[in-house]
Amino acid sequence: MPASVIVGLQWGDEGKGKTTDFLAEQVSTVVRYQGGDNAGHTIVIGDDTFKLHLVPSGVLYGHITPIIGPGVVVNPATLIREFDGLISRGIDISKVRVSHAAHLILPYHVALDKARESALAGAKVGTTQRGIGPAYEDRAARLGLRVEDLLDPA
């Protein structure tokens, strides 16, 4: 089974989303394997423009199963907002899969990110202040909550 892998080797904005969109008609699955909702990708289909930050762009094609993989840090509010926006425009999200092992970005991650950036004053890192770094810190330290923690009925 052949596969195409699109990997960015710079600091973003290399056109990964456009390349994915270009190959979309030839694939059955699009997997977002890492990152968070800090980056955005814009897809234009005919007269429609879609701006996504978390959901893989494959969601716009009915034959594709879009997957948010275990290396992604997921902000539940962003995910719900994107789902709502897609549904309101008639896009079927029923094939979207989110790994149970994906870590969550919680409000304290965002607050910590903003506080750290603010404290750096003139030496700011330039973070998007969406909590991505702190969420990955928790992931590396095995402290963070994962999607599966939201699904556990206990």
d(CA 114, CA 51): 24
Active-site annotation holds for 41 = yes
Cα torsion for 69, 70, 71, 74, to the nearest 10°? 80
8 and 32 Cβ atoms separated by less than 8 Å: no
Options 13, 48, 84, 149, the catalytic residue? 13
Options 37, 41, 53, 103, the catalytic residue? 41
d(CA 145, CA 89): 31
DSSP string, 109-134: HHHHHHHHHHHTGGG-----SSSHHH
Active-site annotation holds for 103 = no
**What amino acid positions are annotated as catalytic residues?**
13, 41
